[in-house]
Chains A and B, each alone.
Chain A
Amino acid sequence: MRQGLKNLVIRFTACAALSIVAVPGFALQDVLESKAMTTEKAPSSLLLDVVKAGNRLVAVGERGHIIFSDNQGKTWRQASVPVSVTLTAVHFPSQTQGWAVGHGAVILHSADAGETWEKQFDGNVANEVVIGAAQRNVAALEKALDSASDDKKSKLEAALDEANFALDDAKADSEAGASKPLLDVWFKNDKEGFVVGAYGFFFSTKDGGSTWENAAPRIANPDRFHLNAMNQVTGGAVFIAGEAGVLFRSVDGGENWVTLESPYEGSLFGVAGNGNVNEVTIYGLRGHLFRSVDMGDSWSGVDSGTESSLMGSFASSDGSMYVVGNSGTILVSGNAGESFKSRVREDRVSLMSGIMLEDDSLILVGENGVVIADSQGRSK
């Protein structure tokens, strides 16, 4: 009896203690540290990009979703992803090596064709990188100023002011934490690659993502416009397109950049080649679409037949070019982007990207996840 009573007391105390421990509980981990939840809904939720990794299809989207399919999009599996932020773009320079980017300036890397991913970089690192670069810049300028001749002094002083200003800016920005998204990723090969993003975010790596460098000083983007897209066209030129029509080009694989004269003052969301050397198509807000046959030195407007914003593009094996966009817009060009035939899909669901499969059907991704369409973009 006594023993029983004692047991009861012990149990009661243990319960009380447990409940005290339980109250502070387990606060939520930051989204940059939380594994993406496994869900059957991933293929039907917001997806923002889809690419091929060998024969495999890999798509990325909201809440850290990365899905892949080995049967031409019939069924999808969800990859293991260490973050649960919205992922905006993915690129596989080879069959197995791939990178995905997203909100919180996260960069993910996969070495197994998209099945598992590890985090290489995020906004907190980005802030450090940017601040570090700004500090080095300030230090260098201060040093230069010390030993500068008088005639160069005023110029250097102005530069130093600007550098200090940039440093303050970077520090202030970092207080909001990992708040800026990366919007596109492009890798030249398994080692060298670039990511671009909001407010002029631009980073590069030469070691497969182990270390990242602030590449923003390489381009002239004083207003820090969003950099929306980055792509290489046949012939080797690399382009970056962004907010307010900003356009940059590099012909040496991303080291040196020139600012191009833009045909458009509205936002550009994509840039793509069409298979012909030095030919490039850019597109963006409200159906605006332009084409250049001289590596972007001059542009001509192309009638897209739509007022919906154009968000993504892809090429087919036969050289047709597809551009997709908001409200179910899909454009097809059979003549290297000279002219397009436009269609609004019945569901009017916004599309972000797509790819053509071997059987000429299309995998489109967007607002409602994956849709499979025929070569004209009609739902199957």
Chain B
Amino acid sequence: MSNPKHDKGEHFLLTPKAEPFMERVIFNNRFIILVAFFFLTIFLGYNAAQIKPDASFERLIPLEHPFIVNMLKNREDLENLGNSIRIAVAVKDGDIFNEQYMETLRQITDEVFYLPGVDRSGMKSIWTPNVRWVEVTEQGFQGGPVIPDGYNGSRDSLEKLRQNILKSGQVGSLVSDNFKSAIIYAPLFEINPETNEPLDYKAFSSVLEEKVRTKYLAQNPNVNIHIIGFAKKVGDLIAGISSIALFAIVTITMTLIFLVLYSRCVISTLVPVLTSIIAVFWQLGILNLLGYGLDPYSVLVPFLVFAIGISHGVQIVNQVALEVGKGFDSLTAARLAFRQLYIPGMLALISDAIGFLTLLFIKVDVIRDLAVAAGVGVAVIIITNLVLHPLIVSYVGITKSGVAHVQNHNDKTDRKWRIMSFFAHPSVAPISIMIAILGFGLGIYYQKDLKIGDLDAGAPELRADSRYNLDNKYVISNYSTSADILVIMVETPDEKCSSYKVMDAMDRMQWVLENTEGVESTASLVTVSKHVTKALNEGNLKWFELPRNQSIINSSIQRAPSGLINTRCSMTPLLVFLKDHKAETLTHVVNVIQGFVAENTSDDYRFLLAAGNAGVEAATNEVISKAKDMMLAFVYAVVSILCFITFRSIRAVICIVTPLGLTSVLCEALMAQLGIGVKVATLPVIALGVGIGVDYGIYIYTKLEHMLIEGKPLQEAYFQTLMSTGKAVSFTGLTLGLGVFTWIFSPIKFQADMGVLLFFMFIWNMIGAIWLLPAMARFLLRPDKMVEKARKAAKPV
């Protein structure tokens, strides 16, 4: 070997002998390997293009949680309950009783009636004939459609309409309390009975935008249209995902610019970007081959893969430039760079991968998918950026300007690194440690407010100011409805769901719940029965009670909404409307329900938790809060063990892991302060942050140890480390941060939350590695002992 210094090898590594072997295999067959990689890329690229978006609801929920098991068991019976849309047509000026408004409402009703997927028989609006006014008269009931006979838009017929609406009892449900808007309610078929196709949420949502919102806003400037419902939300989410493509372009462009500025070399810019993109292709291709799709969470993994790829690529670029600067040809420089970096690189990537794999502890499919996707991504980076990259460089080399840029350092440019090397200075280090302790203290203090679950109102997946959430807010504040529904499934023997015993138990549970903090109201078959019994008794409120007589109960629920009773009458849902879906609210309400169930059991019925968005969320929260600490403990244990195996020194482990711990604590404090809860989207970030953050520490520590073993005093060793690795690390931190920064602008709230947190963790981990690690090293490392140990190890056996 031309440079004997490198032949000594990294004696402290686990398998020092493996290094030249791996290097020999790879570089002696570099052409064949390159060709193989080329075809592999074509194959996997083709597969990557086949990958399908996968926004299935089931993957978002913890399927093994008893709540969810219960929900899925009763899924068919619950279907009628949930899937519907509401279109609120609001008038800007005046009230709804004007001719133009009514005409627009009529046209939209007709339009919605003909939309594919709409269950026409269940549709309701004041323009559908099933919405009627009813009046008790001496002869019995009298009624008719709310739109009066011979309606012609005249003042008289509008007045008649107003009277009918008041009599219909639809104020608060189909007409807002202030008469400034009316709702068109359309239940949807999950499977279209005409075509047998499942509802295409994306298409349905865009048809609504096009044929309802856009069309009628243009037609009648005096109206506003608000659309809510599960189908619309999912449609908006899917639409939001497509903005990812834009983020990808922005991220790649910014990375290119940064790389040019950093390396001043076209080749050193293009090769890492190319290999990182190849890594993304491989990752997506492998996922497709494994049968995975891309969901709103795992769609972010390619960004991570790209960013991690770049960060390792930068290390290679940096090292190659240094070696070429020493006068080696590009092949030798590439080999030397490979030799120096593949162990710390691999160690870093394996820690990343294991960090990701700890996510498998969380029994929610999207998180597990994310773990697999990220794990695969990191594994391919080992090949693309640690093998492919140096191989390509061995052919193309780097430009002179790149080499010149690396060599072109003088006292002036070095000064910032010189200043930073003082982090290892004996009088600066204690200050740093003090600051870190203070940081831990503050972090732990503010972290107290950290909440589990989603904290924002409305659809938490979307931004608070998104169209959907604004629409949702409008509807909730103008109508008697809540967006947060917990459904208790009441199971009974067949044909017993409406028996007095069952209904009585439900009634009492409802009252207990209505007296529970966080519950706004409840509804069930009992509510229907009481209202109808009252109505059947001439509207006399003295009859507002659950009838004990079964035949009266039966007639009172004859026309109950279909979702409230299944065909066998063996399950009836009890709906609990909550004021929000914060974790405390959910836990409290769930505890009250479980308490009631424990105290009142019977063979006649079983109260099962829980469906509804709040039920799912309650289950998810439980899973998340249980998994959180275990996951963190595991990820730290793995990272520590890997570091220990590599460096054979507890002191080294402490030096590397402490800055990560500080970041984790501060990150949780940040979450608490920004109102970001620990949820499906953010829990993975905590693991990813640790996994990726450890890279910095590993690279820096490797170099620092190397320098110390060469006999340099700590501060000088650290200065040398900063000049080479430190530079790359700080650049890496910025690139990684940049890679996820664009997510902050995602229309999807949880992607934005992930973006904020990852950005913080990448940047702060980098700061921690550069600032806190040397301070720790000042107190913990014994350079003289390290030199001695190295000498011993270097002796031939």
Q: Using a CB–CB distance below 8 Å, which chain A residues touch chain B?
A: 22-28, 31, 34, 37, 39-41, 46, 48, 62-63, 84-86, 88-89, 103-104, 176-179, 181, 183, 226, 228, 264-267, 269, 285-286, 309, 311, 326-327, 348, 350, 352, 366-367
Contact = CB atoms under 8 A, between A and B. Distances in A.
B136 A309 contact: yes
A330 to B, nearest CB: 15
Nearest to A243: B538
Contacts of B552: 179
Contact of B138 (A39, A266, A327, A352): A266
Contacts of A285: 136-138, 538
B549 A179 contact: yes
Nearest to A288: B138
7 contacts: A22-B598, A25-B598, A62-B545, A85-B545, A176-B548, A179-B549, A285-B138
B600 A28 contact: yes
B599 A86 contact: no
Q: Which 3 A-B pairs have the closest CB atoms?
A: A25-B601, A266-B138, A86-B545
Interface string B527-555: 00000000001111111110111101000
A63 B549 contact: no
B589 to A, nearest CB: 16
Contact of A181 (B138, B538, B543, B598): B543
A177 B601 CA distance: 22
Contacts of B508: 28, 34, 84
A37 B511 contact: yes
Interface in B527-586: 537-545, 547-550, 552
Given A24-B601, A34-B508, 14 more contacts: A25-B598, A31-B504, A41-B514, A46-B541, A48-B542, A89-B542, A177-B548, A179-B548, A181-B545, A228-B540, A266-B138, A309-B538, A350-B541, A352-B542
Interface of B: 135-138, 166, 504-505, 508, 511-512, 514-515, 537-545, 547-550, 552, 598-602
A219 B602 CA distance: 44
A352 B538 contact: no
Contact of A183 (B136, B542, B544, B550): B542
Instruction: Kindly name the residue among B166, B508, B540 whose own CB sees the greatest number of chain A CB atoms within 10 A.
Output: B540
A94 B537 CA distance: 32
Contact of B599 (A26, A37, A183): A26
Contact of B137 (A28, A34, A178, A286): A286
B540 A309 contact: yes
B515 A39 contact: yes
Contacts of A264: 138
A326 B539 contact: yes
A324 to B, nearest CB: 11
A238 to B, nearest CB: 20
A173 to B, nearest CB: 9
Contacts of B545: 62, 85-86, 103, 181
Nearest to A177: B548
B265 to A, nearest CB: 70
A304 B504 CA distance: 39
Nearest to A350: B541
A264 B138 CA distance: 9
Contacts of A24: 601
Contacts of B166: 327, 348
Contacts of A104: 548
B542 A88 contact: yes
A366 B548 contact: no
Given A28-B600, A39-B515, A41-B514, A48 B541 contact: yes
Contacts of B598: 22, 25
Contacts of B514: 41
Nearest to A37: B511
A167 B550 CA distance: 21
A367 B541 contact: yes
A26 B515 contact: no
Instruction: Kindly name the residue among B135, B512, B538, B598 whose own CB sees the greatest number of chain A CB atoms within 10 A.
Output: B538
B599 A25 contact: yes
Contacts of B602: 25, 27-28
Contacts of A226: 537
A62 B548 CA distance: 15
Nearest to A103: B545
Contacts of A367: 541
B549 A266 contact: no
A20 to B, nearest CB: 12
Contact of B600 (A23, A26, A85, A228): A26
A311 B537 CA distance: 13
A124 B547 CA distance: 15
Contacts of B515: 37, 39-41
A177 to B, nearest CB: 6
Nearest to B514: A41
A103 B601 CA distance: 25
B560 to A, nearest CB: 20
Contacts of A28: 504-505, 508, 600, 602
B547 A179 contact: yes
Contacts of B512: 37
Given A37-B511, A176-B550, A366 B541 contact: yes
Contacts of B138: 264-267, 285-286
Contacts of A34: 508
A311 B541 CA distance: 9
Contacts of A267: 138, 538, 540
A348 B177 CA distance: 11
A333 to B, nearest CB: 23
Contacts of B549: 176, 179
B539 A309 contact: yes
Contacts of A327: 166
B275 to A, nearest CB: 59
A34 B550 CA distance: 21
A286 B539 CA distance: 10
Contacts of B511: 37, 39, 63
Contacts of A46: 541, 544
A327 B135 CA distance: 13
A221 B511 CA distance: 37
B652 to A, nearest CB: 41
A27 B600 contact: yes
A49 B475 CA distance: 35
A84 B136 CA distance: 29
A84 B507 CA distance: 11
A24 B599 CA distance: 10
A366 B541 CA distance: 8
A202 to B, nearest CB: 16
A275 B512 CA distance: 44
A86 B544 contact: yes
Nearest to B601: A25
A266 B505 CA distance: 36
A311 B601 contact: no
